[in-house]
């Protein structure tokens, strides 16, 4: 079963790459009008291709992670925090509530970079350590 799924995903990715290449080579008002004429039910090709790309990337990569971070706020270094939850994406994971998430959109790579940069990030807080939550 896994082999069939992998083959299907590979085929989908190859098809997407081909369509994306055609789009990039022909990105014009005339091309977009032709797409809208042929497929009036569809949104713009650019939006559709973006959705397909995101969908394929989400299927083929690891499940998004929630992290528990420790740190402090830049404007009040004595105001430290522990075990604040951050999520890789901008939506709420099904198994958590919005009020449990401190910050959205930080991947593990982003967190490691923030730890190295200390106060030189664009955030109002400094991350001093982290761990994968669940």
- Domain end (from 12, 42, 60): 60
Number of domains composing the chain: 2
**Same domain for 72 and 119?**
yes
Question: What whole-number distance in Å separates Cα of residue 127 and Cα of residue 134?
Answer: 19
More confident residue, 101 or 23: 101
**Same domain for 49 and 84?**
no
Query: Does the pLDDT value for residue 85 go beyond 90?
Result: yes
Query: 82: Cβ–Cβ under 8 A, 6 or more apart, which residues?
Result: 70
Strands across the sheet containing 76-87: 101-104, 76-87, 66-73, 125-132
Residue range of the domain that includes 43 = 2-60
Q: Is 19 exposed, middle or buried (0-12, 13-18, 19+ CB in 10 A)?
A: middle
Using a cut of 0.85, tell me whether the model's pTM lies above it: no
Q: What is the pLDDT of residues 59-70, one digit of tens each?
A: 555 667 899 999
- Domain end (from 15, 41, 60): 60
Q: What is the pLDDT of residues 44-54, one digit of tens each?
A: 555 555 655 56
**Same domain for 87 and 114?**
yes
């Amino acid at each position: 079963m896994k082999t069939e799924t992998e083959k299907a995903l590979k085929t989908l990715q190859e098809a997407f790459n081909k369509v994306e290449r055609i789009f990039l080579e022909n990105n014009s008002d005339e091309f977009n009008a032709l797409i809208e004429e042929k497929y009036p039910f569809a949104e713009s090709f650019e939006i559709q291709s973006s959705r397909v790309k995101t969908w394929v990337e989400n299927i083929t990569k690891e499940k998004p992670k929630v992290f528990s971070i420790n740190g402090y706020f830049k404007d009040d270094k004595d105001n430290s925090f522990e075990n604040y939850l951050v999520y890789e994406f901008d939506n709420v994971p099904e198994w958590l509530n919005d009020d449990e998430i401190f910050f959205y959109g930080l991947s593990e790579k982003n967190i490691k970079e923030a730890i190295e940069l200390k106060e030189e990030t664009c955030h109002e807080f400094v991350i001093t350590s982290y761990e994968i939550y669940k």
